[in-house]
Each structure stands twice: as C-alpha cells, then as structure tokens.
Amino acid sequence: MTRRTPSGFTLVEFLVALVVGMLIVLAAIAAMLGTRSAAMTGDDVNTLNQSSALAFRMLGQQIRQAGYIPIDPTEPLYYFNVSADRGTNLNDERAFFAIKGVESAGGSANDKLKLGYAPNPDYFKDCLGQEPGRSSGGEYDRAAPEAQGNARLITSEFSVSDGVLRCRGSGNTTLQPVIDGVERFDVMYGVSATSGSRQVVRYVTADDVDEGFRDVRTVRICLQLAGTSRSNPAGSHVDCDGVSKTSGDGKLRRVYTAVFSLRNDLGAL
C-alpha cells in the first residue's frame, strides 16, 4: 500500500492568493471611501439647501414688509412723518426709512442690507422674531401701534462676518447669526424708470441707486454657500457674477439666487 505524502501550497500559489486577497481588500476600501465621500457630499447638499431656504425665508419676509406705513384717512402718514419730532428706536436714523444698502468694497466681498417698516397689529417682529419695545419702558401695545411711547420703526440689518450671515434687529447692538458657510452675500436692486412705475428696467448696485432708494421695486439676493467637508476635489461652480470657478480646497459650493418684490410704494414716502 502506497502512502501519499501531504503537500501544501507552492510559493507561486501562495503569492497568487496573496495578490488576489490584496486586490479584494483594496477594492473594498475604495468602495467604502467612495460611499463615504458620496454620503458627505449628500449631507453638504442638504445642509446648503436648508440654509439657503432659511435665509431666503427670513430675507423675503422682511423685504416684502419694507416701507409699510399705516394709512389713516384723517392723517395721510398716520403717526409717521419724516419731519415729525418723534423718536424712533434708532438714534442715528430719521423718523422713517424703507430700505438701505451698502455696497461691498471689493467684487468678492459682502454687501449689507437694511430694512425698515412700521409696526402694525398683524405684523410687528424684526428678523430675530423680536417685538419692538417702548422707548420709555413697558411692553409694546399690539392693538395700537400708534400709542404714545411705542417704537416707531422696526428694522432688520443683514450682513456677513466670519462666514456667517447675521442680522441685527430693532434696537439691538449685537448681530445674531442666521446661517453659516456664507462666502458671498450679493444684493442687487431692481429700479424703475420713474417713481410712479412698477416696471423694473435694470438691476444696479447700492452705489448706483438714487438717493432714498425710492425707485427700488425688487431686491435680488445671491448667496454663495460652502460645505464643511472636503470630499469634492476639483468641484466647480458659477459664482454670483456668472463666472465659472473651480474649488481647490475640496469644499462643495452652491450659489442660490432669489428675487423679492417690495409690496409697498416707496415713491409715496
């Protein structure tokens, strides 16, 4: 009876098995990294979409309200009058304004937007959801916004610092954050040819708007937002100026634009 001597793998077989195993491991790692990168990019997209929606909802709410003045048949400007000797909650402002803008110093910097309107029983909150107070203390009288001592003007001021869109509400000295990841806050103003016309003939920067902003009919906001992860190498985007750019830091960037109409006739102010 012949006894068979047991034998193992040859060196060649062992090397082939090792190479195949390494290829399988590398493929699994590549698939895992790809899935992780796609998941991080998806998270960034959702975050940027939600941030832009929040910002536009707040901006639109304040822009549409800008310039509101309650009209009374016996007094055309009700309790507002630009020459009236009545204080507001702003020490360095005239008695009333609707919209103001400050153009950025550089093409890639951020603009500022400031909005004002009169409080009324149906709407009396600034961008931070705060109600105006009384200049001499006490609570705001919602039923009678014209009551003596009530704040005469609600204001919301939007600007960007340290990559965060911030808002300063009525009477506040501190800017409060709205959304982060903001690389560009660009504001353009749609103006009419005459004060009595509602038709927008062109969009201009704040520096090119006539004094008083009374011919402004719409406001166009452009937000350029950047994600937090760096899983988007060599990604491209079109900035607020319509220029195509490539991201060199791996961050996902999205540009969002919205146009809001001013419902109140600023030419009547």
Summarised one tens digit per residue, pLDDT across range 39-53 is: 666 678 888 899 999
Average pLDDT value for residue range 145-174: 79
Highest mean pLDDT of the ranges 72-86, 220-234, 246-260: 246-260
What is the spatial distance between Cα 36 and Cα 231, in angstroms, rounded to a whole number?
9
Q: What pLDDT does residue 46 have?
A: 87
Percent of the chain with pLDDT over 70: 68
Q: For residue 30, give Cα distances in angstroms to 37, 207, 252.
A: 10, 52, 21
Task: Report which of residues 243 and 269 the model is more confident about.
Answer: 243
Q: Which residue has the higher pLDDT, 11 or 60?
A: 60
Q: Are 100 and 176 in contact (CB under 8 A)?
A: no
Strands 154-161 and 164-168: antiparallel
pLDDT at position 211, please? 67
Q: What pLDDT does 118 receive?
A: 80
Q: Does 151 have pLDDT greater than 80?
A: no
To 10 degrees, the CA torsion angle through 155, 69, 223, 177?
20
Residue 106 or 174, more confident: 174
Higher-pLDDT residue of 18 and 40 is 18
Q: Which of 187, 186, 189, 159 is nearest to 174 (CA)?
A: 159
Quote the percentage of the chain above a pLDDT of 90. 25
In whole angstroms, how large is the CA radius of gyration of the chain? 29
